[in-house]
Amino acid sequence: MNKFAFSREFRLLTPKHFDSIFQQPHTHRAGSQHLTILAGNNTVNNPRLGQTVPKKQIKLAVDRNRFKRLVRESFRLHQHSLPAKDFVVIARKSAKDLSNEELRALLHKLWQRLSQLPQKK
């Protein structure tokens, strides 16, 4: 039975973890006009999630928190189909205009695309 938890081992916690994704030359990406997801190799046996939601892109804290909450929930539900890589979700300005259902559908599509990635490169 799969566990659908989102504990510390499934999160990118330090700036060093984020920098490793941004510095990797062969980072995979999937995106739309509303957000981008970067995927890079990691050293653990499970996928991990990090998020960057700049104040400059989404001004109100309530909108940033809603976006992050929906991304976490979507990742939690799709983590078993994803390869063991680090994923960083980057929000764009237009992401705040999406309804919850539209954002869930977009994330589902992007996770499906990223689930086709090879395990290690």
Tell me the Cα Rg of the chain: 14
Alpha-carbon distance of 50 to 42, in angstroms, equals 13
Query: What pLDDT was estimated at residue 9?
Result: 82
Q: pTM for the full model?
A: 0.88
Query: What pLDDT was estimated at residue 61?
Result: 96
Query: What pLDDT was estimated at residue 36?
Result: 94
Query: What pLDDT was estimated at residue 42?
Result: 87
Query: What pLDDT was estimated at residue 51?
Result: 94
Which among 102, 50, 108 is positioned nearest to 81, based on CA atoms? Answer: 108
* pLDDT tens profile 81-118: 999 999 999 999 999 999 999 999 999 999 999 988 77
Q: Where are the alpha helices (DSSP H) in 1-121?
A: 15-23, 61-78, 100-114
Packing angle of the helix pair 100-114, 61-78 (nearest 10 deg): 40
* pLDDT tens profile 1-37: 567 777 778 888 888 888 888 888 777 889 999 999 9
The answer for residues whose C-beta is within 8 angstroms of residue 76's C-beta and 6 or more apart is 4, 5, 6, 10
